[in-house]
Each structure stands twice: as C-alpha cells, then as structure tokens.
C-alpha cells in the first residue's frame, strides 16, 4: 500500500491511525498541500477529488477518508474498527460522523484560504471562525461521552471514533481551542497518545513534517 497524504491533514492523519491499528504496512508518499501538489495534473488524473489521503491499494487509487476507513474494515477484518453489536456500532458512528461530517467541510484548508483571499479575513478572524464551528460540534460530543460514562476509550479498545477524534483535537490545539471543559475527550486523547500505534501516526513523526527536515512548510 502507498498512502499519499500531508503530515498535518486531519484526513490523512485519520487514515494513518486506521492503518496502524490494523497493523497494515504502507509507504508514505508526501503531498504538499501548501504548494498545491494535489492540484497537479498527474495527481488529479488519478484522484479527481484532488484531495488527500489517496491510498494505492487493491489495484486501484482510493480517495475519501471515511470511505477508506470503512473499506479497510471490510477488506481487512482483523482488529475491527467498529464494535460487534448494532447498538455499539450506532454509538460509534453517531460520534464519529458528528465530527467527520459537521467539522471537516467548514474547517478544511481550501475554506480557510477562501476566507482570507476572497473575504480578506485576518488570521485572528479565521481562528474565531474555526473555534466557533469546533464548539458547535465538540461541546455536544463531550456531553454525549459524559452521558455514556466513557473511560480511556469509547469502548474497550480504540476504534473508528478515536481514529477521527485524535486528528480533530490536534487541529483544535493548533487553533487554540479551549479544551479545558472537555475532560472525556482529553482523557481519550491522552490514552491514545500513550500507544505506539498513535505515536507512529502522529503528524510530528511523518517524513514531511518540519520536525524531520530543514524545509519549513
């Protein structure tokens, strides 16, 4: 497998976690979003969405992180990312898709660039936008976790919810979102980051991270 992605792209981060939890070997192929490499003719010809991640697997190029995660769970059923019972699968999906569907669209890089370039918004204004939409979804996610009495993970082991939660909290910290009132999410985050699987998937440990080379992006 070859994973085409960007080190701090939340969707690329999701897929790295999923691959690590399933103990699947893959080669990282960096795509620099800030330089627009995903918009190049060669990449767009393979992935019409011109987005990351793109996974070369099973004889084809595959896009869209949530579809990829579910495909991985079906194609490689060991270490499942979804729980075994319908009720637990519903709970995992409710929380996972709240983050994946409500937050990615208004907070991804093209939207933030559009706010700056087309509407002349400052970085402070973009940050305010980012934190507003984070709160709209993360506050009820935290409330649901409190209702469920979640522990270190949503269920016994990390799964699809943690796959999606950890990258969003990484970005929340980048944009100075206050997680002080989110004890359940931050407890899950701490428990996940203590695991080698999550450490290997972390943006700081990717080949295109500025932490691993002289080039700043």
Rg of the chain (C-alpha set): 17
Give start and end residues of each alpha helix (H) in 76-209.
Answer: 86-102, 104-107, 109-119, 123-148, 160-174, 183-193, 196-201
Q: What is the residue whose two structure tokens read 């490689």?
A: 76
Dihedrals phi, psi of 51, to nearest 5 degrees: -130, 165
Residue with the two structure tokens 């769970």: 73
pLDDT in tens, 11-44: 999 999 999 999 999 999 999 999 999 999 999 9
pTM: 0.94
Domains of the chain, CATH where assigned: 2-79 (3.40.30.10), 86-199 (1.20.1050.10)
The tens digit of pLDDT for each residue in 112-165 reads 999 999 999 999 999 999 999 999 999 999 999 999 999 999 999 999 999 999
């Amino acid at each position: 497998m070859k994973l085409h992605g960007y080190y701090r792209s939340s969707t690329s981060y999701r897929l790295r976690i999923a691959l690590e939890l399933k103990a699947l070997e893959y080669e990282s192929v960096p795509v620099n979003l800030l330089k627009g490499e995903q918009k190049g003719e060669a990449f767009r010809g393979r992935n019409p969405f011109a987005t990351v991640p793109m996974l070369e697997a099973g004889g084809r190029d595959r896009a869209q992180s949530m579809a990829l995660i579910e495909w991985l769970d079906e194609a490689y059923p060991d270490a499942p990312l979804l729980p075994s019972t319908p009720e637990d699968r519903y709970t995992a999906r409710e929380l996972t898709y709240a983050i994946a569907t409500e937050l990615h669209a208004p907070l991804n890089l093209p939207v933030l660039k559009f706010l700056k370039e087309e509407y002349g918004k400052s970085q402070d204004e973009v940050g305010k936008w980012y934190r507003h939409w984070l709160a709209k979804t993360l506050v009820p996610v935290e409330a649901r976790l409190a209702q469920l009495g979640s522990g270190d993970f949503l269920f016994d082991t990390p799964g699809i919810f943690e796959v999606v939660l950890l990258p969003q909290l990484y970005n929340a910290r980048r944009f100075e979102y206050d997680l002080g009132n989110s004890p359940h999410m931050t407890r899950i985050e701490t428990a996940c980051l203590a695991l080698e699987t999550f450490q290997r998937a972390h943006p700081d440990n990717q080949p295109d991270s500025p932490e691993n080379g002289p080039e700043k992006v």
